Amino acid sequence: MTARDSYRQLTEHMKDHWMLWSASFLAEWDQETYMPAGGGESRSRMLGMLARLSHEMSTDPKVDDWLSECESSDLAAGDTIEAANIRGLRRLYDRRTKLPKEFVEKEAELKSKARQTWVEARKKSDFSLFAPYLERTLDLQREKADLYGYEHEAYDALIDEFEPGATAVEIERVFQSLLPELVSLNAELRDAPRHPDIGILKRPYNVTKQRLFAEIVVDAIGYDFNEGRIDEVAHPFCTSFGPGDHRICTRYYPEDLAEGLTGAVHEAGHALYDMGLNREEYGLPCGDAMSLGLHESQSRLWENQVGRSRGFWEYFFPQAQRMFRDSLQEVTLEDFYHAMNYSAPSFIRVEADEATYNLHIMLRFDIERALIRGDLQVADIPGEWNKRFKDYFGLEVDRDSNGCLQDVHWSIGCFGYFPTYCLGNLYSAQFYAKANEELPGLESDFAHGDFCRLLKWLRENIHIHGSRYRSAELCRRVTGKPLSHQPLIDYLRSKYREIYGIG
């Protein structure tokens, strides 16, 4: 058998295996949108079975054989789609076979209990309830890192799950440059001469009209309703079931225009990435998103750099005003644009604005890294959290449910996940700055309702590659530079200073 035959058999097998994932994404989508309550137990069984079967397929020893054949041939060399697929599939195979079945079962069991306990602890705002489960979760995370293996520190092995190839040291380099700049920008904003009137967005906005408005907006930026739809759920997300089927799930609030709309645009940004992937490679690394951080860079770019820009609202505000006449007829474009960019320090990450969001992440990054290293004890988390929160935001955390108990991630063993949110923001700013350099006058496109040039640029430079290049490498290829804090801080400083009348 030639290496080419092995490659064909390998990729056909892995594409088949991916169909089981597609089926389980569909089952999860249905669970969140339309499934009747009574279907929960059957659904868990279906999802469990699909996960088990896809795991069996991807860890079949044949996969290892095919991979070895490919790896010892020319196919694995050079900058080709084939070579990238082989590298990506090897990584997948190795990671999946490195965790013994007993470990996976032990982790699943703990995850379920720890999550339930976290829900209870957050409700009572009592960290001590959750602490013993977090201890055990950390033990398992360290064990998992050892099973996966790593070069510098255990935390790297965990980050790698969500952001392949990224390391704590590299992330730290960028975060440490960003942190003081962000803290100082936020201090400037606190003492600024003027503040937007957020109240404009907190008036009654008919939900039926919000739905329609969100559809108009995401359609305009390039989301193709022939290949997707919007449904409503408790917690927004975006999911894909294969080329040609990319669904947005979001929610609307009757007295908040920004939440629903920016949520829809954010998810549409994710969907646009998926819509731009290489269809031929669907089910293989080069037909799949590179990383959580890169995926988030696309959602954030459309949500923030585009969806909160003046040009964007020059086009859409008059439409919003006609649609939501009662709440917007007296409002000026300028006041509306300012309100869309309101910033204020707050306890809860998921409610944070662009200027404060990354501070929430950097705090978590330092804490979880120290926990994995053993430099910080679980019992000391609340104290450490609250001290840092005061330093970064100037606020005293009033209770743990507003502090270290707010996020689900640690309870379900997601260590190394948080930094991808901030990486997404950093990539989005660096990509967007480059797009502006290469495509002068981009924002005046938006003012005319034209988003094609930007979308085409993103498709050609980012989307089409899928996982062909690691995020850090893609960043260098696209922007000519390694990831840096500079584009993000420049963007935030320039936008916010103007809006807040600073300097």
Question: Which residues of this protein are in contact with its own copies, per CB under 8 A?
Answer: 16, 19-20, 22-24, 26-27, 30, 34-43, 45-46, 49-50, 53, 224-229, 231, 241-245, 247, 282
Structure tokens given for 132: 């013993």
User: In the complex, what is the shortest distance from the CB of residue 229 to its own copies, in angstroms, rounded to a whole number?
Assistant: 5
- The answer to whether the CB of 429 falls within 8 A of the CB of 478 is no
- The answer to whether the CB of 230 falls within 8 A of the CB of 214 is yes
Kindly tell me which of 40 and 383 has the beta carbon lying closer to its own copies. Answer: 40
User: In the complex, what is the shortest distance from the CB of residue 305 to its own copies, in angstroms, rounded to a whole number?
Assistant: 27
Angle among Cα 88, 365, 484 to the nearest 5 degrees reads 70
Give 241's DSSP letter: S
Kindly tell me which of 12 and 396 has the beta carbon lying closer to its own copies. Answer: 12
Contact residues for 57 (Cβ-Cβ < 8 A; gap 6+): 13, 16, 17, 20
Report how far residue 218's alpha carbon sits from residue 230's, in angstroms, rounded to the nearest whole number: 10
Kindly tell me which of 28 and 473 has the beta carbon lying closer to its own copies. Answer: 28
Kindly tell me which of 26 and 395 has the beta carbon lying closer to its own copies. Answer: 26
Report how far residue 496's alpha carbon sits from residue 185's, in angstroms, rounded to the nearest whole number: 9
User: In the complex, what is the shortest distance from the CB of residue 49 to its own copies, in angstroms, rounded to a whole number?
Assistant: 4
Contact residues for 432 (Cβ-Cβ < 8 A; gap 6+): 301, 305, 487, 491
Contact residues for 436 (Cβ-Cβ < 8 A; gap 6+): 442, 443
- The answer to whether the CB of 451 falls within 8 A of the CB of 221 is yes
Residue 34 CB coordination number (10 Å):
9
C-alpha dist (Å) from residue 218 to 206, 266, 457? 18, 9, 18
User: In the complex, what is the shortest distance from the CB of residue 105 to its own copies, in angstroms, rounded to a whole number?
Assistant: 17
Kindly tell me which of 247 and 338 has the beta carbon lying closer to its own copies. Answer: 247
Residue 359 CB coordination number (10 Å):
24
User: In the complex, what is the shortest distance from the CB of residue 58 to its own copies, in angstroms, rounded to a whole number?
Assistant: 14
Report how far residue 184's alpha carbon sits from residue 48's, in angstroms, rounded to the nearest whole number: 48
- The answer to whether the CB of 227 falls within 8 A of the CB of 272 is no
User: In the complex, what is the shortest distance from the CB of residue 22 to its own copies, in angstroms, rounded to a whole number?
Assistant: 5
User: In the complex, what is the shortest distance from the CB of residue 228 to its own copies, in angstroms, rounded to a whole number?
Assistant: 5
Sign of the four-CA dihedral 425, 426, 430, 436: positive
Task: Catalogue the active-site residues.
Answer: 267
Q: Which amino acid is at 32?
A: E
User: In the complex, what is the shortest distance from the CB of residue 278 to its own copies, in angstroms, rounded to a whole number?
Assistant: 14
Angle among Cα 301, 304, 306 to the nearest 5 degrees reads 70
Report how far residue 489's alpha carbon sits from residue 483's, in angstroms, rounded to the nearest whole number: 13
Kindly tell me which of 30 and 437 has the beta carbon lying closer to its own copies. Answer: 30
Kindly tell me which of 39 and 204 has the beta carbon lying closer to its own copies. Answer: 39
Kindly tell me which of 51 and 333 has the beta carbon lying closer to its own copies. Answer: 51
